[in-house]
Amino acid sequence: MTSLTGAGGVVLQQGRQLPAPPWRGIAAGAAWLALSGATYALPEAGDFPYTGALAAASLALGLILPVAAVVSGKLGRIGLSLAHWTPWLAVLALAFLAWELATAKLELLPMPFFPPPQAILEVFLEDWPKLGGSVLASLKLLAGGYLIGAAAGFTLGVAVGWSRAVGYWVHPVLRFVGPLPATAWLPLAFFVFPSSWSASTFLVALATGFPVTVLTWSGVAGVNKAYFDVARTLGASPLFLVTRVAIPAALPHVFVGLFMGLGGSFAVLVVAEMLGVKSGLGWYLQWAQGWAAYANMYAALIVMALMCSSLITLLFRVRDRVLSWQKGLVQW
């Protein structure tokens, strides 16, 4: 009977995944218990109202993880996922412990520039209405600009890749204007557009549209000519050749452009919100920095990282669904 150990200590045996040894969960639980004890028992250098809440949450994790590790074999997919992430949970507890000791307990890092974990927890628990509203504002701005840029880039890319006449006129413009960072257009955009919201939407769309255009164009232009010859032999019209042959064959390139556009749109989104829009995570970061509320700033950075990672993960799920024959080819 052959077996090998996969990522996170999950054992693979004859094509089946078996839970990792229970000692991993016990070690992770001990790390969280150490964090709980240090947070609660050691004296603090300042007044942090949510120290008890952090200690209680760490205590709960420290008690749950060993039990879950012992019974993980009966938890199905949840048990396998827990076994996979148990090493990371242990490392996370140790990182929080080092963070807690260096800030709230020993003051090795200066306040308020480096707040302790319980200060970040306080922001999430008390300032969530403003932080949640900023997330929604950023999502609205990002969704509008990204969808407009993706649609325009896809349409233009198909046209350039299919038509030599369109490519003749558009290609020089793309080579001249496309490489410019979207943020370079900030002064002109805020002057031309009637509102900062519409200007920011344009900048996000611009950051998205260029990579989508180039990759879609490359995908359409690189389709095997034999596909078109076979379709023409069967009586296919030009519209059929574009919609049923060129576009499906170019979809892998299109999704690469969508990924690149999404990454570029994040950077433009934050800059635009910092300079012009009076809402969103970029504005929240600027506001927190202006008031020296560094705990709020770090909380916003955490939320921003989670939001961006979640959106990229969602786009990967869509790609795996649409391009099922290439599922797993590109990893995230």
Tokens in use for 276?
Answer: 């012009």
Per-residue pLDDT, 261: 93
Q: What pTM was computed for the model?
A: 0.84
- Based on the fold, state whether residues 107 and 212 are members of the same structural domain: no
- Based on the fold, state whether residues 306 and 167 are members of the same structural domain: yes
Owner of token pair 């959106």:
311
Tokens in use for 43?
Answer: 């004296």
Tokens in use for 61?
Answer: 């994790």
Confidence of residue 83 (pLDDT cuts 50, 70, 90): confident
- Based on the fold, state whether residues 266 and 240 are members of the same structural domain: yes
Per-residue pLDDT, 331: 64
Confidence of residue 11 (pLDDT cuts 50, 70, 90): very low
Per-residue pLDDT, 20: 62
Residue 296 lies in a domain: yes
Q: Answer yes or no: are the C-beta atoms of 83 and 9 closer than 8 Å.
A: yes
Per-residue pLDDT, 189: 87
Which H or E element spans position 17? strand 16-18
- Strand arrangement, sheet containing 11-13: 3-5, 11-13, 16-18
Between 5-14, 86-95, 168-177, the lowest mean confidence (pLDDT) is in 5-14
Mean model confidence pLDDT for the chain: 88
Per-residue pLDDT, 3: 46
Instruction: Give the 3-state secondary structure of residue 107.
Output: coil
Residue 332 lies in a domain: no
Q: Residue 2, by phi and psi: left (phi above 0), alpha (psi -120 to 50) or beta?
A: beta
Owner of token pair 């490489």:
179
Q: In Å, how far from its chain's centre is CA 14?
A: 34
Report d(CA 152, CA 210) in Å as an integer.
9
**Span 111-170, pLDDT tens digits:** 889 999 999 999 999 999 999 999 999 999 999 999 999 999 999 999 999 999 999 999
Which ranges constitute the DSSP H helices of the chain?
A: 22-41, 51-70, 77-100, 117-126, 128-162, 164-177, 186-192, 196-221, 225-233, 238-240, 247-275, 281-290, 294-322
Instruction: For residue 202, count CB atoms less than 10 angstroms from its CB and return exposed for 0-12, middle for 13-18, buried for 19 or more.
Output: buried
Asked which of 119, 143, 173 is the last residue of a domain, the reply is: 119
The domain tally of the chain equals 2
Q: Answer yes or no: are the C-beta atoms of 291 and 148 closer than 8 Å.
A: no
**Span 59-71, pLDDT tens digits:** 999 999 998 888 8
Asked which of 119, 150, 182 is the last residue of a domain, the reply is: 119
Confidence of residue 18 (pLDDT cuts 50, 70, 90): low
Asked which of 119, 144, 176 is the last residue of a domain, the reply is: 119
Confidence of residue 8 (pLDDT cuts 50, 70, 90): low
**Span 188-239, pLDDT tens digits:** 888 888 888 899 999 999 999 999 999 999 999 999 889 898 999 888 898 9
- Based on the fold, state whether residues 233 and 156 are members of the same structural domain: yes
Distances (CA, A) of 88 to 8, 12, 17, 82: 8, 19, 19, 10
Residue 96 lies in a domain: yes
Q: State the number of CA atoms in the 13 A half-sphere of 139 facing the CB.
A: 13
Q: Answer yes or no: are the C-beta atoms of 58 and 94 closer than 8 Å.
A: no
- Based on the fold, state whether residues 212 and 168 are members of the same structural domain: yes
Give the domain extent around 210: 128-326
- Based on the fold, state whether residues 105 and 135 are members of the same structural domain: no
Confidence of residue 90 (pLDDT cuts 50, 70, 90): very high
Report d(CA 107, CA 31) in Å as an integer.
22
Confidence of residue 332 (pLDDT cuts 50, 70, 90): low
Rg of the chain taking only CA atoms, in angstroms: 26
Residue 331 lies in a domain: no
Q: Residue 3, by phi and psi: left (phi above 0), alpha (psi -120 to 50) or beta?
A: beta
